[in-house]
Structure 1
Amino acid sequence: MSNKALHCPTCKKTVTADNPDFPFCSDRCRIIDLGKWASGDYKITSPIHDPDLLEDLVREQNRSSET
């Protein structure tokens, strides 16, 4: 079985699946990536297709705007 090489999402260094920090090249890059998620630098932009979730979001928005 060959190890496929990918690029670290943070620094773009080549990393293989046998690396303990995979898909990152190091713990440092993993923490940088986590910090970007926590600070809101990354956003998921795909539309929401779950009707129940959409209803819940609309209800929550309506509650927020009433206060």
Structure 2
Amino acid sequence: MSCPICSKDSDKKYRPFCSKNCADIDLGRWFNGTYTAPSEEEDDLSALRDELEKTNRKPH
């Protein structure tokens, strides 16, 4: 199996990656939103925005 980031042979310790560096690159891609899954609901984004606004409101 090859590393999905750099295509080198994977290392058993970091499988499916070849190194901690490639594993960290993959994790960073998840965190910054590079990897996404399509939604079947059109209202998902507006519902998420509404929820975020509720949690970010500060009492007066």
TM-score range, shorter chain: 0.5 to 0.7
> TM-score, structure 2 length as denominator?
0.61
- In terms of fraction of residues, the more strand-rich structure is 1
- CA RMSD in angstroms, aligned pairs only: 2.5
- Structure 2 alignment gaps of length 5 or more: 55-60
- Structure 1 alignment gaps of length 5 or more: 1-5, 49-53
Number of aligned residue pairs: give it.
Answer: 47
Mapped pair 1:29 → 2:22: yes
Stretches of 4+ moved more than 6 A in 1?
A: none
State, as a whole percentage, how many aligned pairs show the same letter: 36
Shift in Å at residue 15 of structure 1?
Answer: 1.9
